[in-house]
Chains A and B, each alone.
Chain A
C-alpha cells in the first residue's frame, strides 16, 4: 500500500546532516509509491528544503520560529506533533541522533504508536515493512515490525544509502504555522568539545586509541592521523577510565556504537565490550604491540608494532597519498 511518510530533517552547523538523506531513502521505500514529505525546523530551514527534494522528498514543510533555532524537547515535540496532526501520515522516519532519540519516543507515546529505534535497514514486501536493528550493541541483530498503524522508526546514521541527488527534482516548499508555548527548558550555552565538528556516529573514518596510547599527550599522535584522513577520534573504555580522554569519545557497549567505512584501532586490545561498539565497521585496521590481542580477530588488516612507531609513519604515508 502506498503511504504518506514524514521525514524530520536535521540541521547541524548550518547544514543538513547526512542522516537526513538516509532517512529520506528509508522513507521512500516505506512510502512504496506514496508521498515522502520532508519536515525541517530551525534557522533558515527553507533554504535547505530544496536539497531534501533533490534527495527524494516530494515536498517539504518548514517552520522557522525563534523557538526552533535551538533544539529543545518541548519545542520540537510540539512543532512536529502539529505537523503530524495536519498531515496525518502513515509513516514517520527520524534520524537516530541525539535529538531524534530524545523526541521520537515522546511523539510515539503521544500518538499511541509503536516505534522501532535505531534501524540499520528496511525491507518492504507488499504491506510488510520490516526493519533490522542491532541489539547488544551490535553483537546481534533483530528484525522488527510495527503491529499495525503508523510505521514509525528512527534511522541510524551511516547505514542506509541515500538516493542519488537529482537537482532536476522539484516540489513545494511550504512554511507552516506552528504554535510553540510553555517551554520548560532553556539552553544557556553550548560548549563545543568535538574536534573539527566530526561526529563519531556519522564519521566515515575513525581513528581510535586504547590504553596503549598511554597518556592524553599520546592522543595527539592519533589526532594528527585523523586530521590527514578527515577522521573523528574515538577511544576505548580503558583509555577513558585512565583519563587520557573524555568519555564522550568512548566507543563500545557502554559508549558509542559506530559503523564507519574505516576504523583504525591503535593500542586497543579488543575487549568484548569494545568490539561490540565497532566490529560492524566496514574495514578494520588494528595496530598493536601484542600479536595475540583479540582486536586482530576482527581486523581486516593488522600491523604488529608500537603505535608510536607506526602511526606517525602512517600519517606521513597518507599525507603523500592524499596530497
Chain B
C-alpha cells in the first residue's frame, strides 16, 4: 500500500506567543510535528506494517522543517519530501499549500493519504480537504479508527463527540483526530536509521507550478494578543459561604445564570 502523510511543523503547544508589529516572534521558540499529524504518521506506520508498502511524509515549508521530517523518519516512515517555499515570493495561504501538495501527489501512486484534523498553530483545517478535492478523491475527516481490507475501508469518525461508523473505499484521504492512536516516540535505532533514509527537496518549479497562479487568496492584516485578563476574585470564608457567594456573583455580577 502506498501511504502518504501530510505534515506541518508547528510551534510547540507549550510555547507562549509573542507578537511584534503584527508578526509572531519565532525567536527561540521550540518547534514540533503538529500533534494531529503525529497521529497520522503513527497510523500510516501501523497500516504499512499490516498491509506492506511504503510511508512517505510530505511537508510544505522551508529547510528548517527537515528536523521534523527526520523525526517522522525516525518514528518509522520510509521517505520524506520537503516542498521548499524559501524562494516563493508571493504570499502563502492554505490555498497555496494545498495546490503545492496536490501538484506533488498527482504525480504519485497513492492508495491512502493521511493528515492531521487541524494544525494547532493556524487552526483552520483547510489543507487536507482542499487536497482531496484537488485530487478528486473521497475524504473522511476527524477519524478515530480505521480498518483497511483490500479496497474496502471501515472508519470510525468523531462528530462533535458522537461516533459515525463509515464504509468507504480506496483511494482515500483521511484526517486524524485525537483518540485514534498513541504516537510512538522515535527509538534510538530509529533515529540512527533515519539519517540514511531518503529526504528529497522539491520546489515550485519542480512541480511545474506558476507562483502567481498559486499565490494566496487571502491576506492577513494583523495579528495580536487578546487583552490580558485582570486578576480574578478568590473567595474567602467557609466553603458554604463561598458557594453561596459564588452563586450570587454569577447571577448578579457576571449575569451568566
Contact = CB atoms under 8 A, between A and B. Distances in A.
Interface of A: 73-74, 77, 97-99, 101-106, 108-110, 113-118, 130, 133-147, 149, 184-194, 199-201, 205, 229, 246-250, 253-255, 257, 261-262, 272-273, 276, 279-280, 282-286, 291, 296-305, 309-310, 313-314, 317-318, 321-322
B222 interface: yes
Contacts of A272: 13-14, 16
Which bucket holds chain B's interface residue count? 35 or more
Contact of A248 (B161, B233, B240, B251): B161
B232 A300 contact: yes
Interface in B88-126: 93-95, 98, 120-126
Nearest to A190: B164
A95 to B, nearest CB: 11
B188 interface: no
A193 B130 contact: no
B203 to A, nearest CB: 22
A110 B133 contact: yes
Contact of B138 (A73, A146, A310): A73
A104 B247 CA distance: 41
22 contacts: A98-B159, A103-B129, A109-B98, A109-B134, A114-B216, A115-B124, A117-B126, A118-B124, A141-B226, A144-B220, A187-B165, A192-B162, A205-B257, A246-B179, A254-B120, A262-B250, A276-B13, A296-B232, A300-B233, A303-B239, A310-B242, A321-B257
Nearest to B177: A247
Nearest to B34: A254
Contact of A185 (B142, B167, B178, B223): B167
Contact of B256 (A130, A247, A279, A282): A282
Contacts of A118: 123-124
Contact of B254 (A97, A114, A283): A283
A317 B162 CA distance: 31
Interface string B216-236: 111111111110010111110
B192 interface: no
Contacts of B130: 105-106, 108-109
Nearest to A188: B165
Contacts of B216: 114, 147
Interface string B1-38: 00000000001011011010000100000000001100
B94 A189 contact: no
Given A109-B98, A136-B17, A140-B225, A284 B232 contact: yes
B167 A250 contact: no
Nearest to A192: B162
Contacts of B218: 114-116, 144-147
B209 interface: no
Given A142-B222, A144-B221, A301-B232, 18 more contacts: A73-B138, A73-B140, A101-B141, A115-B218, A135-B223, A136-B123, A138-B226, A143-B223, A184-B169, A188-B166, A190-B164, A199-B161, A205-B257, A253-B13, A302-B233, A310-B242, A310-B243, A314-B246
B165 A191 contact: yes
B95 A201 contact: no
B138 A147 contact: no
Contact of A254 (B36, B140, B223, B239): B36
Given A273-B14, A301-B249, A136 B121 contact: yes
The 10 closest A-B pairs by CB, nearest first: A114-B217, A247-B179, A117-B124, A105-B129, A184-B138, A194-B161, A106-B133, A109-B133, A105-B126, A302-B234
Given A105-B125, A118-B123, A296-B234, A249 B164 contact: no
Nearest to B244: A317
Contact of B178 (A101, A113, A134, A250): A250
Contacts of A255: 178
Chain B: interface secondary structure?
Answer: mixed
Contacts of B167: 185-186, 188
A247 to B, nearest CB: 4
Given A108-B130, A143-B221, A322-B257, A101 B125 contact: yes
Nearest to B215: A147
B124 A317 contact: no
Given A108-B95, A201-B160, A283 B219 contact: no
A12 to B, nearest CB: 9
B46 interface: no
Contact of B122 (A135, A291, A300): A135
B132 interface: yes
A307 to B, nearest CB: 11
B168 interface: yes
A73 B13 contact: no
Given A205-B256, A272-B13, A317-B243, A279 B98 contact: no
Contacts of B139: 73, 102, 106
B123 A187 contact: no
B235 A302 contact: yes
B158 interface: yes
Nearest to B233: A301
B202 interface: no
Contacts of B177: 247
